[in-house]
Structure 1
Amino acid sequence: MTPTTEHRPQMSVEEFEELERHAPETVRLEFINGKVQVKAVTDGNHDQIVAWLQRLCMQHRPELWLYAERGMKVEAYRRGRARPDGVLAPFGFAKGHGDWSEAEGVLMTVEVTSHDADTHQRDRVEKPGGYAAAGIPVYLLVDREDRTVTVFSDPEDGRYRLQVNKPFGAVIDLPDPVNITLDTEPLEDLAT
């Protein structure tokens, strides 16, 4: 029986990093589950959601910063590469890291869904596993299509053991080590 190629990466991490370095600025590439993925260019509402979260994080936890689109080494053995919409870490975290940071010290990653065909598989299925495998304590998914906010936490064995989902407009707690309560009412106007 011939082994299937679905579990073999399309290329090595080193080959991906070389490809990503030479990609045009209009394209954002990620390497998740051994596959090269093109992440949609963001729109204004997407960017406003990230800015809203940056402001809230700064108000509640001034010693931290929500880094936008910071390159992260994710998945088991750091064999994946992702550019989360936000990475919450101590201010100064990215200093000296180059293009891709280790997950150590990261408290939370954030993804805001885009209006593209791959968002379900990428943000709702693959990213939680990659971030959990990297040991990132909290993953916040702002889902504009479903108009929900989902908090994934307690990573163990490559998956998050806890998942809390609330509709836009609800209050949701970002657990330890983040310890911020979000009133998601402003998201109702930014879902489109």
Structure 2
Amino acid sequence: MTERATPIEHAALPTFETLLRAVAEMDTPDGFKAELIRGKIVVSPFSRLRYYRCMRALREQLQAHAPEGHVADIAPFLFRFPAAKRAYGPDLFVTDESAFDEEGRHADGGALSLVGEFTSVSTRDADWKEKLDVYGRIVPVYLVVDMQDSEITCFSDPSPQGYRSRKTVAFGEALPIPEPFDLSLDTTGF
């Protein structure tokens, strides 16, 4: 008997909300997080221990310049982007604290003022492509901390086509972070 591919009816595919529920109900192993990337549930490890000092330095600088009512953190929360049918758990985020007033487990991605992703071998492609595309339509500032190339890139000025501005510096150089932060980020400790 010859095997043939059988198409799945569109109605049989899981909805974005169904996938979000599945992520919420997952019992991921300690040290792992689940995200919705390209319509799939992807489980990946938390950042490496050596990333912590860099994450902390970044979080402290951003918190000092965050818009009023916004908080910078590295806690593992999932932010949803329903228009893109995606949900990400950024390595670092700055968001309006009111995003945590909602019931449920998934915060509104529209409340984010900044996202920082620290690349790893397993997440690098998603950080530079998939997440760049989604964040670039709604999040004011996106930082890609490239731990493999020892540089940091700031994307800003989101639009329906993606970010309109990009600036990259090597670790050790100052990186300008535009409004709503308006700071010169010190990367010497990175």
- TM-score in same-fold range (> 0.5): yes
2:66 touches 2:72 (CA, 8 Å); kept in 1?
no
What SS class does the counterpart of residue 146 from structure 1 fall into?
coil
What SS class does the counterpart of residue 176 from structure 1 fall into?
coil
CA distance 1:90–1:178, shift in 2 (3 Å)? same
Amino acid at match of 1:127: K
Partner of 1:45: 50
Deviation at 1:156, TM superposition (A): 1.2
Amino acid at match of 1:150: T
Partner of 1:77: 83
- Aligned mates of 1:105, 1:153 — CA distance in 2: 16
Name the % identity.
Answer: 24
Partner of 1:190: none
Count of residue pairs the alignment pairs up:
177
* 1:168 maps onto 2:171 in alignment: yes
CA-atom RMSD, angstroms?
2.4
- Aligned mates of 2:71, 2:45 — CA distance in 1: 24
- Aligned mates of 1:94, 1:87 — CA distance in 2: 13
- Aligned mates of 1:53, 1:128 — CA distance in 2: 19
What SS class does the counterpart of residue 155 from structure 1 fall into?
coil
1:30 touches 1:38 (CA, 8 Å); kept in 2?
yes
Q: Which runs of 5+ in 1 are unaligned?
A: 188-192
What SS class does the counterpart of residue 72 from structure 2 fall into?
strand
Choose which of 109, 119, 123 in structure 2 pairs with 1:113: 119
- Runs of 4+ in structure 1 displaced over 6 angstroms? none
* 1:142 maps onto 2:145 in alignment: yes
2:66 touches 2:94 (CA, 8 Å); kept in 1?
no
CA distance 1:111–1:164, shift in 2 (3 Å)? same
- Aligned mates of 1:97, 1:139 — CA distance in 2: 26
Q: If the length of structure 1 is used for normalisation, what is the TM-score?
A: 0.81
1:174 touches 1:181 (CA, 8 Å); kept in 2?
yes
Amino acid at match of 2:35: E
* 1:12 maps onto 2:15 in alignment: yes
In our comparison, the structure showing a higher alpha carbon Rg is: 2
Partner of 1:29: 34
- Aligned mates of 1:111, 1:103 — CA distance in 2: 15
2:172 touches 2:189 (CA, 8 Å); kept in 1?
yes
CA distance 1:92–1:53, shift in 2 (3 Å)? farther
Q: Which runs of 5+ in 2 are unaligned?
A: none
Amino acid at match of 2:113: L
Q: If the length of structure 2 is used for normalisation, what is the TM-score?
A: 0.81
Partner of 1:101: 107
